Amino acid sequence: MNEKKIKDELICKLKKNRIKLCAAESITGGRFIYEFIKKKGASNFIDFSIVCYSNNSKIKFLGLKKELEENHVISEIIAKKMAINITKHSKNQNVIGISCTGLASDHNNKNFLKVNVGTVFFAVYFKKKIKVKKKIFKGLRRNQVITKTVSEMIALCNSII
């Protein structure tokens, strides 16, 4: 199935089931939610999104201070907590949370040396169920890693509804 069909399938599921989408994006910098916002009527299924690129923003907006002290920012636990905690800000009862954290290109920061370029964790949280996926996109340029991450996030959302 092509990416447009997968995205349209997700939009249909969200609308039909009156589910609101909340996103906490790090590596994608808002590109995931943009794929939906550009469609007319997006307010019918999108609640909100934040770009929490820095650790500081993950602490301030998602309450991940303890998790970041104990875990690498690019990890399964951080992706899980991002997806869960983003939904806590919603007033909607029927809400899905999606998140991503990863490394799209070489980084001079010594904290990232433990992670290979192209490593991404995504998580989706819906009705107290959580799914996490790890991918390593080898040999891709930064923008390609981000594009692949967005596609994986859409597929992951589809898989839990």
Residue 67 above 90 pLDDT?
yes
DSSP the chain: --HHHHHHHHHHHHHHTTPEEEEEESTTTTHHHHHHHTSTTGGGTEEEEEE--SHHHHHHHH--HHHHHHS-SSSHHHHHHHHHHHHTT---SSEEEEEEEE--S----GGGTTS-TTEEEEEEEETTEEEEEEEE-TT--HHHHHHHHHHHHHHHHHHH-
Looking at residue 39, its pLDDT comes to 86
pTM of the model: 0.93
Looking at residue 109, its pLDDT comes to 56
Residue 113 above 90 pLDDT?
no
Question: What band does 124 get if pLDDT is binned at 50, 70 and 90?
Answer: very high
CATH number, domain 3-160 = 3.90.950.20
Looking at residue 76, its pLDDT comes to 97
Going from N- to C-terminal start, the domains of the chain cover: 3-160
